[in-house]
Structure formats: C-alpha cells, structure tokens
Amino acid sequence: MSKVVIMTKKKVIIIGGGIAGLCAGSYLQINGYDTEIFEMHDKSGGCCTSWTRKGYTFDGCIHFLYGTGESNAFYPLWKELIDIQGMEIVDFKEYSQIVKDGTILTLFADTEKLKRELLRIAPEDSVIIEEFINAIQEFDKIDMPIDVAPETLGMVELLKLLKDMKPYLNLQKKWNISVRDFVNKLTNPFLKEVLPASFEGEEMSLIAMITSFSAMNLKSAGYPIGGSLEFARKIEERYISLGGKLHFKQNVTQIIIDKNSAKGIILENGDEHHADIIISAADGYNTIFEMLEGKYIDKKIANYYKSLNLFRSLVQVSLGINRTFDNTPHSYSLFIDEPIIFEDNNKIERLELMIYNFDPTLAPAGKTTVTVSIETHNDEYWSNLRNEDRERYRAEKKKIAEEVIDRLDKFFGNIKSKVEVIDVATPATYIRYTNNWKGRYMGWMLTPKGLVTRMKKTLPGLKNFYLISQWATVGGGVPVGIMSGRNITQVICKKDKRKFVTS
C-alpha cells in the first residue's frame, strides 16, 4: 500500500496591508503559503492612498510610478501581479514647471527638450549641463537586475550580479553626489537656487534626479488613471483572488516570541494569532522598538534610527475647484513672493502643486482636483497640537489652506470663488492613518550615503521574522513594495527548498 502524504501549508502572518504587505502576500500565496494580513486601517494601500470628498478624489501618493512602461525593470514585476499593460497610464510631458520671480523653467520629460531648456536658462553652464544630460542618456540604456533577491545568491552568483550591474555601478560612482554638490558646480544663480528645492532637498543623491528623468523620458514612470487607492486595490484584488485573507481594523501591538523565534502576534483587543513565519510590512520603528520592545537590534540598526536622513513629512492642502486648468502643466514648483508663516515661525516660500487636469476620474466634469504639498520636518509640532489643542490644530489647518488659496489665486486668477472643497492633511494625519514614524511617508532619504546602505530584512537573533516595508530599503516608494514583497518570498522559498514561481 502506498503512503498518502498530506502537505500542510506553512502559515505566514503579515502585519500591514500597504503595498509591501499586499505584494508579499500575493507572491507567498502564489508559492503555496497560507497568508493572512492584519491591517490597522479600514482599507489597504497604506501610504498609497486617495480619499473622496463631495465628488472630488484627492490623491495622497503617486506623482509618478516606476514601471508603468516596458523599458523599466519594475514593469515585468507589476505584470506578474496586476494587469499593468491594460491600465490607462498618463505619461507626463514634464517632471514639473518651476516658477520664481517671473522666470519659468520647465523640467521636460523629453531629454533633448530638457537640455535645450536648461541651456536656455544657463548657457554659461553648458559643460556641466551636457554631462548631466549624458548621464540621463546613459541611464536610459541600463537594465537594472532586480528580479533576484541578493540574499538568495551564493558567492558565484553574487559576483555575476555585480558584473551585470557594472554599467550602473560605474555611473553610480560618478553621480552619487548630493544635489548640493552638483549645484555647487553650476554658476547660474537661478538653477543653483531652484533645483535643490524642487528635488526634495539638497541632501538627496543626484542619482534620484537622473533616474527619474531617465524613466520619464522612456515613458516608464507615468500615472495610473484612477489614482493611488485604485492602484492599491488592484493588488488587493489579486491577493484576495489568490486566497489571501485580509483583516481590517486590526492593530498589532506585539509580536509573540518563544526561544527567540517569532510565533505570532497580539492585537490591541488582546486577540492572539499564531503562524510559522511573521512578516512586518508596517513601520520599522513601531515594529522594532514597540512590537519587539527593542530586544532584537544591533549597533547598525540603532544608528539608522538615530542618524540616517529621513524624507520630510508633509502638510498637504487638497482643493476641489469648480473650473478647468486647460493647457497648464500638471505639476508646479511655485516660489511665492509673499511667504506663508506656519508652525509658529516657519516660512513657506515654495508650493509644490499637482493639478489633476489629466485624470477625469478624480473630479466631476468641468472641475479639477489640485493638491499642494508643503514639506516639513516638524512632525512633533503637528502631533502635539492635535493632541493638546484640537481647536487650534483645526484653526492652523484652516489658516494654511486660506493662505495657499490666496497665493494660487494671485498666480492663476479665478481660484478663490471657485474652491468647493478643502481638505488638509498634516504629519499627524500620516501618523494616524499609516503609523509611519514621524509621519515620514517615504522612510529613509536617498542621500549619497543612503543609496549605498544595504539594510537586512532580518533582525539579529530573531528567527522566523522579516521586516519588509519601506523602512527596510532606503529610498521608499511604491515599487520598493513589490520588490521587497517578491524578494522576501524568494528568501522564504529558498529556505524551504522550494522553487520560487510567479504564476
């Protein structure tokens, strides 16, 4: 008589239903694991979200998404989980338009146009502009090998990977300088001033700027019509269709440990759930220092949370405006003549605008959704204000919105009387809805040091546990979610001696 062997599926609990959690869940389901996601919010998506007020949908995330076009390494990954090829994607003509003291600089997506535009503004900097444009064109030719988790490679395979990455590494060696160091090479005062501000700060690595321009030039970094939440929902649908289980309003407070091995989770309501493997796709600080009580760290991890640069947080003013914005760029970096004072004594001198005139699904016909982002390091101010004086918190949000509307009215005209809906999110909002440390919605900043920092997805001394959210990879972003979810599945499959599959 032949023996019947019943294979029980390994159970995996995933904390957090953002992009990383949903993607990890999907790949694990495909590979024969039994997964459950516990999400504290009432919907999935995490930072990749949008919200609707009186007929207007405000997008809180994607400005552009790597991998919407075939030439980007993320495209085949998206294709594995969602019908990216069937989605309606907008490829923008420009990264954004910078306006300061009447001078306009359009950062065109098309590299040749960008070159002409930069040379028009700063002919005296032609040598460095040419070099910068060449770098974008060199990046156009590079295919980044992101389909294999480096953690799964042996020495020989790692050496091969490094060889395949040589063209990229050579460019990285030359261009992994801060935006500050780059603009210091320029002589044109306008470029020197506006470029760092328009690229998330002068500490950023120039590589981020170059790769963004390259991906936009290749029509591989577009916007999915319908917005960020719709995009996240497509991954959620795939996860559910693969048999994954998603539990909402389930705040995880503790990870159960037995003999230095993760065994389960405890929810805020006291319920316990057990599994063979625990993955946190939630905030890194909350996971390491609260759910795990800081018991599984080393000097390196402690230093990340002490001294590695973070992206800023945001105050986002979202407006539903009863008018169209025809023939205007979709994105502006607008330096304002009359600064706005906020957070007691900080000055806002620049507004970053998204005009969603390219997505008719986000507003009723003839109307437009506009969002204005204001960067801040001052997350504590907003959290304290909200906790201690809710009325002043609301008044402060109202004041910023009014001043923003006033500056937009001065710039565009015909705004003030047309605003139908106002919504203001602050760092306190990002913390409340996503639990991200200090409200930093992209995690670790891609500085020159950050770019070469390789974080582990395991913690020292702890078995059967992985951390995969944007806090486990410097640079953040939606594509990091799919890459880390896929990579961790490869790692788990290798450990279990299974062949990793994608369908």
Ligand X SMILES: Cc1cc2nc3c(=O)[nH]c(=O)nc-3n(C[C@H](O)[C@H](O)[C@H](O)COP(=O)(O)OP(=O)(O)OC[C@H]3O[C@@H](n4cnc5c(N)ncnc54)[C@H](O)[C@@H]3O)c2cc1C
Quick one: 450 or 477, whose CB is closer to ligand X?
477
Quick one: 17 or 227, whose CB is closer to ligand X?
17
Query: Mapping DSSP to helix (H, G, I), strand (E, B) and coil, where does residue 200 land?
Result: coil
Contact (Cβ atoms closer than 8 angstroms) between residue 316 and residue 369: no
| Minimum distance of ligand X from residue 252's CB (angstroms) | 4
| Minimum distance of ligand X from residue 16's CB (angstroms) | 3
Token readout for 384 is 């304290």
Task: Compute φ and ψ for 64, nearest 5 degrees.
Answer: -155, 150
Q: Please spell the DSSP secondary structure of 61-87, one letter per residue.
A: S-S-EETSSTTSTTHHHHHHHS-GGGS
Quick one: 188 or 434, whose CB is closer to ligand X?
434
| Minimum distance of ligand X from residue 327's CB (angstroms) | 23
Buried-state track 319-335, b at ≥16 Cβ within 10 A, e below 16: bbbebebeeebbbbbbb
| Minimum distance of ligand X from residue 306's CB (angstroms) | 21
Quick one: 115 or 457, whose CB is closer to ligand X?
457
Contact (Cβ atoms closer than 8 angstroms) between residue 419 and residue 320: yes
| Minimum distance of ligand X from residue 429's CB (angstroms) | 10
Q: Please spell the DSSP secondary structure of 402-469, one letter per residue.
A: HHHHHHHHHHHSS-GGGEEEEEEE-HHHHHHHH--GGG-TT-B---HHHHT----SS-TT-BSEEE-S
Quick one: 253 or 322, whose CB is closer to ligand X?
253
Q: Which residues are within 8 A (CB) of 97 and not within 5 positions of it... i.e. 6 or more apart?
A: 104, 105, 106, 107, 329, 331, 332, 333
Gap between the Cα atoms of 453 and 177, Å rounded: 14
Among residues 218, 331, 283, 258, the alpha carbon closest in space to that of 438 is found at: 283
| Minimum distance of ligand X from residue 143's CB (angstroms) | 19
Quick one: 111 or 435, whose CB is closer to ligand X?
435
| Minimum distance of ligand X from residue 19's CB (angstroms) | 4
Contact (Cβ atoms closer than 8 angstroms) between residue 291 and residue 40: no
Is residue 174 within a helix (H) or strand (E), and if so which, with residue range? helix 166-175
For the chain, what's the residue count?
503
| Minimum distance of ligand X from residue 477's CB (angstroms) | 3
Quick one: 38 or 56, whose CB is closer to ligand X?
38
Quick one: 65 or 385, whose CB is closer to ligand X?
65
Per CB under 6 A, residues contacting ligand X are: 15-21, 38-41, 46-48, 60-65, 251-252, 281-283, 286, 314, 434-436, 441-442, 469-470, 476-479, 481
